[in-house]
Amino acid sequence: MLFLRFAKGSDMSAFHNYPSKLLEQAVREFASLPGIGNKTALRLVLHLLKQEEEDVVNFGNAIIELKRNIHHCKICCNISDTETCQICSNTRRDANMVCVVENIRDVMSIENTSQYNGLYHVLGGIISPIDGIGPSDLTVDSLEERVRAGGIDEVILALSTTMEGDTTNFYIYKKLKAYPVKVSALARGLAIGDELEYADEITLGRSIVDRTPFEATFGGKKQGNSI
């Protein structure tokens, strides 16, 4: 394609001399998404141009509707179509257990194991000073409010096995220590540094079933049970 020129020393994805300002603008918007470079963005835009107008309009409307109408559950902060998500409003779920996760992807991963029937609490991230994310940027306070209100017997900390995840786990444990609630953590069958969404369903499901009291992960003790 003659109208594309790679800048010398670039990442080979920096395109110039677009034949259309509209094309350039569309590519720029796609390239602003995480994990999407200019080369991939151009390929996606050119694909859309080949589609029927109705299909492209439906694609655009789906994104607009998502942004305008999505809710965050007023109880667990999960993404939802309504003020209260389907999990929190399901009376067949065990409301005495709350599993604390980083994001909706972790909720989906745990649900796929079919080994957990309690409720969730979505933090919206983990403590990461290097990224400028502190406790006040997460939903820890609303988790504490849920525990303070009573009715919760166990809080399961199901964050990634990274330094940031462990730091967040410990912070939450300290916040909840004053309440009569059991705090447990996933059994450490997951490799150190792993994120929940990348764990296979069997390993993740077993780590939930074999969860251990959070205190057992302290100091030089073996962290959890091996899977």
Q: What is the pLDDT along the chain (227 residues), one digit of tens a residue?
A: 434 443 444 443 455 678 899 999 999 999 999 999 999 999 999 999 999 999 999 999 999 999 999 999 999 999 999 999 999 999 999 999 999 999 999 999 999 989 999 999 999 999 999 999 999 999 999 999 999 999 999 999 999 888 999 999 999 999 999 999 999 998 765 554 455 655 666 778 778 888 888 887 765 444 433 32
Cα angle: 93, vertex 171, 117; to 5 degrees: 10
Which amino acid makes up residue 79?
A: I
Separation of alpha carbons 170 and 4, rounded Å:
51
SS3 128: strand
**Confidence (pLDDT) at 36:** 95
Domains, the chain: 21-69 (1.10.8.420), 72-217 (3.40.1360.10)
* CA atoms within 13 Å, Cβ hemisphere of 175: 20
Instruction: Tell me if 154 sits within 8 A of 184, measured CB to CB.
Output: yes
- For the record, the structure tokens of 87 come out as 């999990």
If we measure between CA atoms, which residue out of 160, 201, 208, 168 comes closest to residue 184?
208
Q: Give the phi and the psi of residue 201 in degrees, each rounded to 5.
A: -65, -35
